[in-house]
Structure 1
Amino acid sequence: MPALVSNHPPVRRWIPAPVTKEENIDWADLTFVDLARAKTPEGRAEQVRLARDATHRQGFFYVVNHGLDQAIVDRMVDIAALAFDDVSEEEKLRYQARMKETGEYLGYKLPQYWHIANGVKDRIEHYNFPRDTSRRDHPTVLRPFLPEIQRMIEFTHCEVLNEVQKLLSLGLELPENALPDLHPFDETNHSFWRFMLYNPRTQEEEEKTNNIWMKGHADHMSFTAIWSQPVTALQIKDWDGQWRYVRHVENALVINCGDSTEYLSGGYYKSAVHRVVKPPADQEGYRRLGLLYFHYMKDDALIAPLLESPVVQREGITKSISGDPPTQETWRKNRTAVYGVSQLQRGEDGTEYEIVNGVRVTHYN
């Protein structure tokens, strides 16, 4: 990944929130996977074990020493702010995503689209780029930065997630390219990049939603890569069923295992249930701006267990889709179209759920 150079177009700085100083926060104990250490045989064996066990137990872990300078990540956050602060409402509407119609997030998801609870809708805004940014047009202010955004997408896909997938392939006792080969960086792949902004809410909205900004859920794709940012609001439903906060780690990514990988591994790797909640008191009023990459398999891949894995054979299949498994294309479009807007049913355990492709998809308030 090339370093910053002087001929990049200028962009004003985004001033991030200070890291919380509140005590008594229940932090999740997440594993650190070090990609630099994975370059030696001894270190690689260690990182395979760490990545495998973390994904089996929690479905969340950090990636560090990935090779990208913090300054490039900071600049990408600066660019992200333009998508929300320097684009008119009229232009946002022109680039509004048609999730229900297309099953894709590409373009803007504007606030007040998803239902949270008790009549309260979200205050979340995001702008989504296809894996290949040239596939579609973009708001005027973002166009000068498309080469940088494209390089960031490729880095996250190929140098981070595909490297993680090599470790997890070995964790399933498969050839290291088993998972990366299912996630090529080409026209068959519809992974996407997101600039995401959480806006503060009113006290009335907080009370009606019990401080939940986004319901607990598992992502439907293979993995989500979240570049760590300082507003403490992301929680995981941990291995013991408790909700715990994800701590900010400078220049780290939080890797989130999704449902597709859980099905590929027959349930051995766990898709991570997570949610976003009101930040601590010393971060109230700050906007939460993030960089995320949602990683899919190629469209014709089946959402079905990798039966050739000795781990899957030995551990057995605990999670699979009954009947004919859907393709990645069918799965991603159907899950995207209904998220946050379908009529949910109430489960006996107090959760809410919907049925997609014959699968019970659970939402946690």
Structure 2
Amino acid sequence: MGTLPTSNILSASNTNPAPPLYIPPSSTTVDLEYADLATIDLSKASTHEGQIKLAAAVCQAMKAQGFFYVINHGHTPEQTRDIFSIANLTFDGVDPEEKLSYTDKSDEVYDGYKPKKTWLISDGVHDQIEHYNINRNLYKRAHPQALRPYLHTIEDFAKHNHFNILHPILKLLALGMELPEDTLVKQHNFSLPGHTSVRFMKYYPRSVEEESKTKSVWLKGHTDIGSITILWSQPVSGLQILSPDGKWRWVRHVENALIVNAGDALEFLCGGFYPSTRHRVVQPPADQRNIPRLGVFYFSMPDDDVKLFPHGDSPVLQKEGMTLFSNAENVPDMETWRKARTASYGRAALRPGKENGVEEEIINGVVVKHYN
């Protein structure tokens, strides 16, 4: 993939057209067992008093479930509608031949398209997931013709996620560890080398035979690679989290809300205080079974050169103790961890773990678990 021509950069910067409208399906009416997740009103972080109260609530939510909802995040329903419309255009408005020109050929699948059937799920069945990954620096690479009129909208979306959502959440998490509020923010710069990115993702329905072989699991239980994942809530059910009692529970759709969870990098940096969250995607309920599931994400990662070693100066860690996932001499930086995780996912041979239904692999000396 080459560099985006200057003319396209200029045209993207000077226009902000409305994309072809995507009409989301209705939410499921099936009675599902939902996880009881906290709701964080991010607008309350604008005052010091509100920030202190929210820090306690976010700390509790991260430790109890590892997931929480965010509301009042500064993005209007109309803006959210537009970004989902652009996401849908990424898959339905680009022909297969052009997609090949923008498909990441490396093992990382972290720029451009990831085609279906990249990852082995189970019993010879591969995924039916297509995604398009856009680095926060949009102009590192060229993009399909259909997306070029909307690059300014995508760029605004990336900046909004980074500065108006990610950074405030990182400040709350740092305060929860009694660290200076900018401790984690300093490790998540917008302009430095890294792979924090916008991702558009589409899950396609599978055959009855494939559902049977995989026990209806579309994406195995896993933890995310980075620090904070921001998922823009959408109505097709499928996301489940592994609750503290060991039971998988569904995540309910909340209109124009965010679903936030912790990843490996945050767990490493915080010495296990905020554990990375185990989650999976399964076949939607019966009334949504034949509907593609469209997703919009902001996957945040620390800067590439950040060593994933705990902030041991935290008074909370000094009091409660911390987990070291690697010794100081061999601790990986974010770039090393990211490349190792993405290269092995869905390709590496897994061994049975000590827990029932868990498979394991070793990456950079760390045991990575996959939950079935």
Q: TM-score, normalised by structure 2?
A: 0.93
Cα distance in 2 for partners of 1:348, 1:270 equals 19
The alpha carbon displacement at 1:319 in A equals: 4.7
- For 2:142, what is the secondary structure of its paired residue? coil
- For each residue in 1:149-183, what CA deviation from the matched residue of structure 2 results, as whole angstroms up to 9, or x when unmatched? 01101110111011100000100100110011110
Aligned amino acid, residue 141 of structure 1: A
In the TM superposition, what are the counterparts of 1:73-88 in structure 2 within 5 Å? 73-88=80-95
The alpha carbon displacement at 1:320 in A equals: 2.0
Aligned amino acid, residue 257 of structure 1: A
- For 1:33, what is the secondary structure of its paired residue? strand
The answer for the alignment partner of 2:54 in structure 1 is 47
| 2:181 is the counterpart of 1:176 | yes
1:257–1:271 contact (8 Å) kept in structure 2: yes
The answer for the alignment partner of 2:358 in structure 1 is 351
Task: List alignment gaps of at least 5 residues for structure 2.
Answer: 1-14
The answer for the alignment partner of 1:216 in structure 2 is 221
The answer for the alignment partner of 2:337 in structure 1 is 331
| 2:27 is the counterpart of 1:22 | no
Aligned amino acid, residue 310 of structure 1: P
The answer for the alignment partner of 1:154 in structure 2 is 159
Cα pair distance change 1:62/1:319, threshold 3 Å? farther
Task: List alignment gaps of at least 5 residues for structure 1.
Answer: 1-6
- For 1:193, what is the secondary structure of its paired residue? strand
| 2:77 is the counterpart of 1:98 | no
Cα distance in 2 for partners of 1:305, 1:8 equals 42
Cα distance in 1 for partners of 2:44, 2:313 equals 28
The alpha carbon displacement at 1:9 in A equals: 2.5
| 2:348 is the counterpart of 1:342 | yes
322, 328, 345: which one pairs with 1:317? 322
Aligned amino acid, residue 95 of structure 2: S
Cα distance in 2 for partners of 1:79, 1:146 equals 10
The answer for the alignment partner of 2:9 in structure 1 is none
The answer for the alignment partner of 1:4 in structure 2 is none
With 253-262 and 336-345 compared, the bigger mean Cα shift is at 336-345
Cα distance in 1 for partners of 2:35, 2:247 equals 9
In the TM superposition, what are the counterparts of 1:1-365 in structure 2 within 5 Å? 8-23=16-31, 25-100=32-107, 103=108, 105-322=110-327, 324-349=330-355, 350-365=357-372
The alpha carbon displacement at 1:80 in A equals: 0.8
The alpha carbon displacement at 1:104 in A equals: 5.0
Cα pair distance change 1:300/1:287, threshold 3 Å? same
2:19–2:150 contact (8 Å) kept in structure 1: no
2:307–2:332 contact (8 Å) kept in structure 1: yes
Off by >6 Å, runs of 4+ in structure 1: none
1:237–1:273 contact (8 Å) kept in structure 2: yes
The alpha carbon displacement at 1:337 in A equals: 1.2
- For 2:326, what is the secondary structure of its paired residue? coil
The alpha carbon displacement at 1:48 in A equals: 0.6
Cα distance in 2 for partners of 1:312, 1:48 equals 16
- For 1:305, what is the secondary structure of its paired residue? coil
Aligned amino acid, residue 21 of structure 2: R
- Taking only aligned residues, the RMSD between alpha carbons, in angstroms, comes to 1.4
Aligned length: 357
Cα distance in 2 for partners of 1:143, 1:152 equals 15
The alpha carbon displacement at 1:16 in A equals: 1.2
Give me the identity figure in percent: 47
